[in-house]
A and B are shown apart, each in its own frame.
Chain A
């Protein structure tokens, strides 16, 4: 079976190629079904590899398959090979599994789009790149996939590129990601310089010999790369804007898979991170905790249904980084998987709502949709309970695990995490109430139903389309089966996903035992003072905080206390702490001047130095060439003088010697 690992990425690649050649001819819906089948085939191959790995002895659970020698350059050898071990197969399983569902969903969601087949072409290319990222057996192939998913993300965010906002959102994501990519590249260079290999098996074997300084630089640079891809402070700005893409893209790329690339990379490189100075894990944990809190506060005041989920994603990724910084790799990967389930579900649910609401994305226009869209509503609420950490739903297990390790690291990090967890419960409950409950705000024209939103749109000159629904009455309806089926499949996963690694009894920690061979180097072990009682207390505390957040939101929004609402939804939160607009203002104003000054420096000082050297040479040689008079006698004189000098030298040598 291990020879067939290449089938996992080959299926989506084949799908991509077929769609490039025949996509337009196949058209709707055949192109979509072809793409879905390709990814489903990849999922089947992943399952087969998983079963085969499971049959091996614990420490033999790694298949390394080299397909061909890719770059043989002197002492630098890179093979094109795949590494299937518990970590990469876990990633493969949930990436292909969720991608299959989202492909299916897209057939319904993209119905009637003129670029239907192109959308699936990009999606297949994305899945292929993502599988390269996780399956590659060395950093360069991971980097190939890393850039591939970045490019696909760009294509898909600006899929409806006729709208300027979408096109610039795509550019923003791409450019911001490049900043992080620089870190990843430098990390590859350093790894090769220090270890002489960039193969993961080689890195694991050689990492104990790494000097602390080198390991620190590599770990810090990897973290920079991860920050870009996984949208952490200060590079998170692209993710909320990435919501300009079609909703299945948001679900697949910007919630479930691509953004977890950074987590995967750090988990994969855990033997190096553990060799680094202790400030690197601290930095990862602090950045993660702050991002979790920061993004959660912004999510509280967003009105766009997808923006809430986007900031929520940033916040949940912050939790994962907090876990990695605390040395809890299992908890980070566990949360990544459960997050993929429930956030994928929530995004697909929001897409279903937007579809039903005829393109409207603002939650101030929704309300009371529960009766109109029962399947979407019920599954969305499962996702809501899962992310809020309601007992026995998926998020309950994974978030408790992270907070436990954060507590072990530092009580301050734990407190920040607790506040962020409480806010998660709050903003998700707010969203559920605003969308599915309360009085409907869509059964009348916009002007009557939501005067505030109407005034806002009038002022900004926003017309229906691209996030804004019709101004007249809207007739919400449940989505077709292709869209509800993925919701129905993901619902139970979000409900039960937590039992993958249940902390209730030792045998329940299936994921921990499964991942152990890969992450055992870096995994932190709880200090001895952490008794079972303390664990239970922390678990109850984390659950309570989530419940408090949910109850508070229920009081504020279901009881419709306008005053409290205004006090919570501050403008500064709605604007995302003005972080984005500050950057824009800075880049447009003082930053611009700074860059102009640098451009001036470049033009006059750097270029001046280069040109100066050139003109000095020119002047000197202008003078020098007059030596060539063209008269033979001058040259003859030169020869003679030279001969005399040589003769004199020889003579003086003969005399003195």
Chain B
């Protein structure tokens, strides 16, 4: 169980991420639950790509790879046309409803960018209060040192054509599964 402080961070995170047009679900930390949640989140996607994780158990990713439609070792041509990408998040930021993706491991960058649907798995204990904590020299900031990070807040969007339109060059939909 998360500590009470973590619970309110989680609630704030969910509220803000939802305001930023991400869809957020809470999932229990088990292979079966996670598999079911990803299956629901990617419903309708004919193909998906899953990047390796670091913080959630490697077993979970083995389980996820058994989902139908998963392309285990995608070519670039496949990456360019896949429907959904699944990545683990390095951190969540409560105040802004952002997830932070650490690029580097294979497919992490592409599977959070090239597909119309991005599903992010966020370990609940990795939610911090505000963006600058990722730059602190201790705690999660120290873990972030030397990594290439991208803060993702909602799906890609533009207002350049007048009204706010979601879904430009990056994912049109962002679905965050908070793993508790």
Q: Do A and B come from one complex?
A: no
